[in-house]
Structure 1
Amino acid sequence: MTFQSPWLLLGLLLLPFLAWAYAAAEKRRRRAAAAFAAPAVSASVVPRRPGWRRHAPLAFAWLAVAALIGALARPQVSIAVPAEQATIVLAMDHSGSMAATDVAPSRLTAALDAGEAFLGKVPKQVRVGGVVFDNVAEAVQSPTTDRAELKAALRDAMKPSGGTATGDALAVSLEMARSSGKKVPSAIVLLSDGKETHGRDPLPVADEAKKLGIPIYTVALGTASGTLPNGDAVPPDTTTLQDIATRSGGEAFTASDTSALSAVYKKLGSEVAMKKQPREVTAGFAGGAAILLLLASALSLRWFRRLL
């Protein structure tokens, strides 16, 4: 929580002085009562003492004053809201290693299913584009809010073949994200299962994305023991994908099975297209102060037949 006028919170320093003044007044009252009646007869003169009830209404009143001071300082909290006109580029690897079956029924099928689930989690007003890559990168769908069109484009293009051109895929994705405009919040979600074998180095592209304020969220798909039908080992390149995410200002994930991949995409779908927005909660503080004052007055009226 932050405050737009935090200097007004200095008013809270008055509360300890008020408490000290109240304690001093109570001490004088007790002395006056003792002077009025000897201890031996005080029980008959004042048969019932209010005890803690004497202080409760004033305590609620002090809390109300503290809440009012907080309201004057205009408190605000940050909440996650859908980013208006945001653009996400979904870059998906369909190299030959995506035919591995260590992620059932295959890495490619699991990637497509999770990608469609991801699109279902992204707010409807957010535009999503599609890039697929093997040894070359191809933009298959410009950013759109038409989820069915994007799903169809990905299904048509995602066939396991060739090598892995991660850097080229990021460059195409970055250009697509930039085309949405400088003031439009953008992000790239990259899913891959292997080390780049073709094209440009992906790390300088990640550095460029950082400068442009476009984070890259990477998902490393597969297990270290993953193999192709011919026995070739195809472990995911988690190190490079982690470096890409870190250098771009994004976040890296690893998915070793279908459920893990779905969980990652669910998280990304609810977070990548969201932004933090300050919301003022002055009314809540003021309302709380009013309730506390009403409570203090009600207790005082019930117990002592006076407001406070």
Structure 2
Amino acid sequence: MIVGVARPHATVTVRREQATVVLAIDVSRSMQATDVRPSRLAAARAAAKAFLGKVPEKFQVALVSFGSRAVVVVAPTADHTLVADGLDALRPGEGTALGDAIAISARLGHKLQEREGHQPPSAVLMISDGAQMGGTTPPNRAVRLARSLHVPVYTVLVGTAGGVVQARIAGGFRATIRVPPNPTTLRMVAKETGGQFFTATSDKRLREVYERLGSRLGHRQTSREITDLFAGGSALLLLAGGALSALWFRRVP
């Protein structure tokens, strides 16, 4: 019974009730590459939908797309069907305004507050295949903003070294351009904001990453008192000990 008096605690995993998650999807030209089937962008769209199926219904989810500029496609909402519709509407463009996307996403994640006044947890899930190409906010400045707002950015690098896209050049000709993924910036963003960096070289791997993140963000670790459990266990031990003693003394003359 001494353990019960000490009021022991244990770390347990419980489901989050509220949080804000911003999905930031790269829609640059290189996301049309088909090294990840059916294309990098299509695979990202499917994985994001799988993520929506993993987070609790009450979670506020937003969608940001970024090509030559970052755009809020869907503001934070608990209507996950609306977010799925926004994913279906994504179309490839030009450029990669990575820093702008981080800054806008971090502000969206920080914006919503619970009625009681305290800030619910928030995070950004960003999927891209490369480094900054365009936009007005350098990634390092955007990272400082996200860190100051306590918004971690989880980054997923999609693509393989063999990725290519077709582009029109002068004279009406078409050229094949190699678009290998560039992990440097995304790795830095995740590390400096307290998130985590992942790589995905296939649609299956991409879906696995998003589902895992959905499960992770949908739960939290908390400490709970387990005195009753130990007290109950102690009582059972005492009863068992008493029964064994009775049997023993009954057998010994």
TM-score (normalised: structure 1): 0.75
Task: Give the number of equivalent residue pairs.
Answer: 238
Question: 1:88, 1:286 → 2: CA distance?
Answer: 40
Q: Which has the higher strand share?
A: 2
User: Aligned pair 1:190/2:131, yes or no?
Assistant: no
Question: 2:101, 2:203 → 1: CA distance?
Answer: 24
Q: Which residue number corresponds to residue 206 of structure 1? A: 143
User: Aligned pair 1:164/2:96, yes or no?
Assistant: yes
2:110 to 175, 178, 187: 178
Contact 1:132 / 1:154 at 8 angstroms: preserved in 2?
no
Give the gaps of 5 or more residues in structure 1.
1-67
Contact 2:157 / 2:198 at 8 angstroms: preserved in 1?
yes
TM-score (normalised: structure 2): 0.90
Larger radius of gyration between Structure 1 and Structure 2? 1
Q: Which residue number corresponds to residue 172 of structure 2? A: none
Aligned Cα root-mean-square deviation (Å): 1.4
Q: Which has the higher helix share?
A: 1
Runs of 4 or more consecutive aligned structure 1 residues displaced over 3 Å after TM superposition: none
The aligned amino acid for 1:223 is T
Give the gaps of 5 or more residues in structure 2.
167-174
User: Aligned pair 1:281/2:226, yes or no?
Assistant: yes
Deviations 1:190-234 (A, max 9, x none): 011121101221122122222222111000010122111342111
In structure 2, the residue corresponding to 1:228 is in which secondary structure?
A: strand
In structure 2, the residue corresponding to 1:241 is in which secondary structure?
A: helix
Map 1:41-190 → 2, pairs under 5 A: 68-156=1-89, 158-181=90-113, 183-190=119-126
Contact 1:83 / 1:185 at 8 angstroms: preserved in 2?
no
Q: Which residue number corresponds to residue 228 of structure 1? A: 165
Q: Which residue number corresponds to residue 190 of structure 2? A: 245
Question: 1:238, 1:258 → 2: CA distance?
Answer: 18
Q: Which residue number corresponds to residue 14 of structure 1? A: none
